[in-house]
Amino acid sequence: MSENNLTYQCGETALQEAVAFCQANDFHRFTLVSDTNTHAVLGKRVKELLRAQNWAVHTIVLEGQEIIADVATLNEVLAHSGSDPGVYLAVGSGTITDITRYCSHQQGSPFISLPTAPSVDGFASANASIVVRGNKESVPCLPPIAIFADLSTLRQAPKTMIAAGFGDMIGKFTALADWKLAHLIMDDPYDAAIAARVEKALQICIDHREGINLATPPGINGLMNGLVESGICMSLAGNSRPASGAEHHLSHYWEMLLLRLRRPAVLHGAKVGISAVLISERWQQLHSLKTGEIKRRLKNACIPPSQKEQEIIEKAFPTNPNMIIQGQSNYLSMTENEFSSLKKIILRKWKKIVEIAAAVPPPEKIISLLQSVKAPIAVSEIGLSKQDEIDALLYAHYLRNQFTILKLGRFLNLWD
């Protein structure tokens, strides 16, 4: 498969096809980035295949129980890459891919992704998720020129990582709803064709859920195809909106919390799946609101005072609140007239908002889908508390300059 200059192959012969691709493109110098686990699983084999062609392969194996895509790690990889890294090879899952994507972008070198687990949808993305001074930031970078997914390696990935990939895809239900909402209320760019592609990829994963749970070749191939398609759609849209909404903001909030508390990380897709349940509940509650209730709330709604909002952000994100405050500048600087106009738009388009809500599966359905692959469905299963859940629902919307159901709820006090 090839689209927008991206070559993608998933199968038992993916590594041989990767060698052929490099031969066809006259690539003969590589910098292979992995961690101790992924190097043992796949990196060593990739290195040997390439060196058998008499090609130069420089390996960077990141050590430690938990690899974080932060400034220190990025600088470490850049420092060990040298001035002529050749083609970067990302041998790993989400974090290794983000680290490699960022470094290849900084060096002006292409990179090839060789996934070791179907755990995230970021393999084909043009953005790297980086931790900057304690905050999770999405940094624009170049997407990979190719993805070669060895099916036997993917099938042997830990079950929790496979379930996390499915959870990341389930999050598309609420992400797509938020994208439609932002287009409806804020006139954000929206592409129905791209949204349809994400919906199709999501449905393929759902149809293969039994095979995903059993790690059969068709099941894992279907999941990997869905994850890559999601990343392609983000690249086509020029942003993460087709695949990321309020459910991802909750995940980012918890990731930052765990970093701040120096607690073990939780797989991104596991957090996204749980978040999809919580955001689905919000959509269901919104759907149940009567027009008269919305009129009353709109009438009583007041623009949140900028100073109060900044104080909330400073309390919720003590590590680096200024970055988040800056990102929320268009909301924090909203005038009374602008807020009045926003309320009028919401009332005028309330029927269509309800239609969006009606299309989001109820939480019971999302829970059933997650359970079909043994993915977690509640924060208690990943070491988080009920207060962590409440705080994420209150504060996670500040993390991105995006209009979502949580931002709508904040403006109208929908869940006070």
Domain shared by 112 and 260, yes or no? no
Q: Which pLDDT value is given to residue 2?
A: 45
* Domain CATH for 40: 3.40.50.1970
Last residue of a domain, one of 155, 181, 204: 155
Domain shared by 137 and 251, yes or no? no
Mean pLDDT over residues 128-137, rounded?
86
Distances (CA, A) of 35 to 93, 106, 141, 227, 263: 10, 20, 21, 22, 20
Q: In the numeric block, which tokens belong to residue 81?
A: 């890459």
pLDDT tens string 389-405: 999 999 999 999 999 99
Nearest to 69 by CA among 139, 20, 4: 139
Q: 67 falls in which pLDDT band (50, 70, 90)?
A: very high
Do residues 61 and 43 touch, judged by C-beta distance below 8 A? yes
The residue type found at 301 is A
Whether 127 has a pLDDT exceeding 80, the answer reads yes
Ordered strands of the 29-35 beta sheet:
2-3, 6-11, 146-150, 111-115, 87-92, 29-35, 56-62
The angle that helices 246-260 and 386-395 make with each other, rounded to 10 degrees, is: 120
Q: Which pLDDT value is given to residue 37?
A: 96
Do residues 224 and 153 touch, judged by C-beta distance below 8 A? no
Distances (CA, A) of 226 to 6, 89, 398: 15, 22, 29
Nearest to 69 by CA among 36, 93, 38, 43: 93
Domain shared by 124 and 264, yes or no? no
Task: Work out the number of other CB atoms within 10 angstroms of the CB of residue 236.
Answer: 17
Range of the domain at 320: 246-412
CA angle 348, 352, 353 (to 5 degrees): 90
Distance CA 31, CA 155 (A): 26
Distances (CA, A) of 320 to 130, 177, 315: 14, 30, 10
Mean pLDDT over residues 124-142, rounded?
88
Q: Which pLDDT value is given to residue 4?
A: 57
Pairing of strands 6-11, 146-150: parallel
Do residues 78 and 150 touch, judged by C-beta distance below 8 A? no
Last residue of a domain, one of 155, 173, 190: 155
Structural domain count of the chain: 2
Q: Which pLDDT value is given to residue 416?
A: 61
The mean predicted confidence, pLDDT, of the chain is: 95
Distance CA 293, CA 299 (A): 10
- Asked whether residue 211 is assigned to any structural domain, the reply reads no
Domain shared by 133 and 282, yes or no? no
Domain shared by 147 and 251, yes or no? no
Mean pLDDT over residues 232-250, rounded?
94
Of all residues in the chain, the percent with pLDDT exceeding 70 is 99
- Asked whether residue 220 is assigned to any structural domain, the reply reads no
Mean pLDDT over residues 77-92, rounded?
96
pLDDT tens string 406-415: 999 998 888 7
Pairing of strands 2-3, 6-11: antiparallel
The residue type found at 281 is E
Whether 209 has a pLDDT exceeding 60, the answer reads yes
Mean pLDDT over residues 331-335, rounded?
93
pLDDT tens string 269-324: 999 999 999 999 999 999 999 889 999 999 999 988 999 999 999 999 998 899 99
Q: Which pLDDT value is given to residue 136?
A: 84
CA angle 92, 94, 95 (to 5 degrees): 85
Domain shared by 151 and 45, yes or no? yes
Domain shared by 289 and 391, yes or no? yes
| Class of residue 25 by CB neighbours under 10 A (exposed 0-12, middle 13-18, buried 19+) | middle
Domain shared by 251 and 150, yes or no? no
In this structure, the chain runs to a length of 416
Q: Is 242 helix (H, G, I), strand (E, B) or coil?
A: coil
Q: Which pLDDT value is given to residue 77?
A: 97
Distance CA 184, CA 177 (A): 10
Residue 305 DSSP one-character state:
P
- Asked whether residue 226 is assigned to any structural domain, the reply reads no
Q: Which residues contact 154 (CB under 8 A, 6 or more apart)?
A: 10, 115, 116, 117, 118, 220, 224
| Helix (H) / strand (E) containing 335 | none
Residue 32 bridge partners (DSSP)? 59, 89
Domain shared by 385 and 278, yes or no? yes
Last residue of a domain, one of 121, 139, 155: 155
Instruction: Assign residue 291 a region (left: φ > 0; alpha: ψ between -120 and 50; beta: otherwise).
Output: alpha
- Asked whether residue 290 is assigned to any structural domain, the reply reads yes
Q: Which residues contact 98 (CB under 8 A, 6 or more apart)?
A: 69, 122, 128, 129, 130
- Asked whether residue 219 is assigned to any structural domain, the reply reads no
pTM of the model: 0.94
Domain shared by 256 and 129, yes or no? no
Domain shared by 254 and 398, yes or no? yes
Domain shared by 17 and 137, yes or no? yes
- Asked whether residue 30 is assigned to any structural domain, the reply reads yes
Q: Is 148 helix (H, G, I), strand (E, B) or coil?
A: strand
- Asked whether residue 277 is assigned to any structural domain, the reply reads yes
Distance CA 397, CA 391 (A): 11
- Asked whether residue 88 is assigned to any structural domain, the reply reads yes
Alpha carbons within 13 angstroms on the beta-carbon side of residue 131 total 19
